[in-house]
Amino acid sequence: MHDCEPLAYQNTNNAVENICCSEQFRSLLLSLIESPAFSQELGAEFAAVEAVEGLSACRKLRSCLNLSLSNFFGLLAELIAAFDRAAGAEWYTFANKIHSSEVGKTKLLDCLLNSTDQDFYRDLAERLVQSNPHAIYPTSNYRESRGYVESTADDQTIEAVMRSSTFTSIKVIDNSLNHEQLILRDMYISHGRCVCLVDQNVERYYGEQIEHYFDYHGIELDKLVYRAMEVDKGIYTVEKMLGDLKRLGVSRNEPVLIVGGGVLADTAGLACALYHRNTPYIMLSTSIVAGIDAGPSPRTCCDGFGYKNLFGAYHPPVLSITDRYFFKTLREGWLRHGLIEIIKMAVTKDAELFSYMEQAGPRLIETRFGTVDCQPEDEINDLSQKILGAALRSYVAAEYDNLYETHQCRPHAYGHTWSPGFEIEAGLLHGHAVSIGMGFGAYLAYRLEWISKAQFQRIMRLIASFGLSLWHDIMLKTDTLWASQVKIIQKRGGNLAAPLPKGKIGQCGYLNSLTREELDSAIAQYQKICENYPRKGLGIEPHCSDVGLEDPSTVAHAPTKSSSLEEPTLSAV
């Protein structure tokens, strides 16, 4: 498909007809439809020839017959470009002509059924209904499900097995709202509009830029603005979002764009999971917590009845973008507490990432990940990109290998065993609560002789070097910690399964038994150890109120709705 003469045709209809009627095109189409889109082998083949950037397009194109010509040729150009940039550029130019033409709205199958090869494609469509319905009538380009049953002779007992596959793309991109960055344009150009849910704080800084981006590319924008602080993370926020999606008539295969931090990622992601039972969404993360953790996470959620993340669904974004240029406008305290999501992956999954964090140190905060007061050639710029990429790879590998939490060997839950019990009560920022849990967990690992004293101290020093908390006096309320442990055992299927560093930094083990006496003793010893670290283990601006956020401890038991929650605003651009 590289050297296709019809690309130069002035008449778009003639070009499409000539392309689609070629033997080469038919062969390509069948290969795409029959490709093992979700197999590890396909991914390995693309990686082997350094064409991973075309893998998402290849997977979407398995349902190519159901795509509009605009969508089809855009994806085809993306696929070709991964193997040959020059040829890909020619196909992108052609795809842009299709985007702006009336024929672009036509489905590929309808086009083929009106071509000279119509008999072949009619027979193909009829066969696919039985053999591969995902290729002909897909609900989603991103998911696929299969199943089978066995039953007794009289059908009074039926045993069923169901399995599903999904895929997503995770990208680190700078200046994603610059109109020359086409990733968002390419996702929405064939849909003709973008429904966008935006964090109110993000709207203040980037609202006009979002509008300009979509206006520049001729895409209608329906923008909903929500306040998204920790105190707003309730079911009432999700209900409002559901009402807005219904009012705007969002279809089941139309990806919603979410632009914000961790709270919006959780609540808006949950709204998408509930709406039509499965509405795709794209996450453009504007905070470090969202960019590394909540953004690509499949776990969407909201708080309820005073408990963190009581309600939720497993619903990953179809595309997650981490853009460090959003970090420029973050308060230092917001950026600091998000760093713990990187450190947790470094401790339990990636020793090289741990070394990167030690090498970068507080410069990550001072330079806002290499975006402020530094030059492109500065070491911190390169280190920042390595850190973001490695953290995402480690996190996604752990999360997506256990998408529905069907087991509790979850290294990314390090620091999240006792912290859910005291985070809200203490009014702590999530990152500081987790860092305390991580420090305490590292001490337990040292007591168990899972790691050496030097390794334990190395973990503690790294956490403290960023101004994150190792200690808070809420830890003296051991009843609170024990209650959290009891609840987490219920949540984890009857096991404590507390992830801790084991063997060496970058590896993980699971503590499954800790008595009340052992917990109390460990807390007392850990407090003494923390006194030897900077600020006696206390963090810098550890509380929500320290960084201008409402104290969640004061509203944790609000009956239904925070009185200060503002109504979302809608603007059509």
Q: Is the dihedral of CA 88, 93, 95, 96 positive or negative?
A: positive
Q: Among 448, 569, 421, 558, which residue's Cα sits nearest to residue 503?
A: 448
The answer to whether position 377 is within a domain reads no
Contact (Cβ atoms closer than 8 angstroms) between residue 514 and residue 496: yes
End-to-end CA distance of the chain: 38
In this prediction, residues 85-111 reach a mean pLDDT of: 93
Residue 449 lies in a domain: yes
| Helix (H) / strand (E) containing 300 | strand 299-304
Q: Are 410 and 348 in contact (CB under 8 A)?
A: no
Provide mean pLDDT across the span 232-242: 95
Mean pLDDT of 221-247: 95
Same domain, 311 and 177: yes
Q: What share of the chain in percent tops pLDDT 90?
A: 84
397 confidence band (pLDDT: 50, 70, 90): very high
Is residue 540 predicted with pLDDT exceeding 70? yes
- For all residues of the chain together, what is the average pLDDT? 92
**Which CA distances in Å does 480 have to 417, 530, 539?**
12, 20, 20
> Which of 100, 131, 166 finishes a domain?
166
Residues 6+ away with beta carbon under 8 Å from 345: 292, 353, 391, 394, 395, 398, 411, 412
**Banded pLDDT at 13 (limits 50, 70, 90):** confident
Same domain for 180 and 309, yes or no, is yes
For residue range 41-81, what is the model confidence (pLDDT) as tens digits?
A: 999 999 999 999 999 999 999 999 999 999 999 999 999 99
**Residue 423 lies inside a defined structural domain of this protein:** yes
Side chain identity, residue 194: C
Q: Are residues 217 and 194 in the same domain?
A: yes
Do 548 and 562 belong to one domain?
no
Q: Is the pLDDT of residue 123 over 90?
A: yes
- Same domain for 460 and 314: no
- Gap between the Cα atoms of 103 and 107, Å rounded: 9
366: left (phi over 0), alpha (psi -120 to 50) or beta: alpha
CATH of the domain at 192: 3.40.50.1970
Q: Is the pLDDT of residue 3 over 60?
A: no
**Do 309 and 412 sit in the same domain of this protein?**
no
Structural domain tally of the chain?
Answer: 3
CATH of the domain at 547: 1.20.1090.10
Please indicate, yes or no, whether residues 413 and 550 belong to a single structural domain of this protein. Answer: yes
Residue-level pLDDT at 364: 95
Position 566 scores a pLDDT of 45
Task: Give yes or no for residue 572 having a pLDDT over 50.
Answer: no
pLDDT tens digits for range 153-164: 999 999 999 999
Query: Is residue 199 a part of any domain in this protein?
Result: yes
pLDDT digits (tens, 9 = 90+) for 162-196: 999 999 999 999 999 999 999 999 999 999 999 99
- Structure confidence at residue 558 (pLDDT): 45
Q: Is the pLDDT of residue 568 over 60?
A: no
pLDDT surpasses 50 at 129: yes
What integer is the mean pLDDT of 465-473? 97
Same domain, 125 and 187: no
Range of the domain at 55: 5-144+158-166
Confidence of residue 392 (pLDDT cuts 50, 70, 90): very high
Q: What percent of the chain has pLDDT over 70?
A: 96
Q: With 60 as the cut, is the pLDDT of residue 420 above it?
A: yes
Same structural domain for residues 563 and 546?
no
Report the pLDDT averaged over residues 143-156: 94
| Domain contains 228 | yes
What tokens appear for 32 in the block?
Answer: 């795409």
Query: Do the Cβ atoms of 392 and 283 come closer than 8 Å?
Result: no
**426 and 492 part of one domain:** yes
* pLDDT tens figures, 341-369: 999 999 999 999 999 999 999 999 999 99
Measured CA to CA, the distance from residue 154 to residue 164 in angstroms comes to 29
Q: Is residue 379 assigned to a domain?
A: no
Amino acid at 507: Q
Contacts of 439 (CB under 8 A, 6+ apart): 459, 460, 463, 469, 470, 471, 526, 530, 537
One domain for residues 162 and 173: no
Return the pLDDT at 1: 54
Instruction: Tell me, yes or no, whether 464 and 506 share the same domain.
Output: yes
Predicted confidence at residue 21, as pLDDT, reads: 85
Average pLDDT over residues 116-123: 93
> What is the structure's pLDDT at 4?
66
Q: Does some domain include residue 354?
A: no
**pLDDT band at residue 141 using 50, 70 and 90 as cut-offs:** confident
Q: Is residue 359 part of a domain?
A: no
Residue 108 pLDDT > 50 = yes
Q: Would you state the pLDDT for residue 559?
A: 42
pLDDT of residue 307: 77
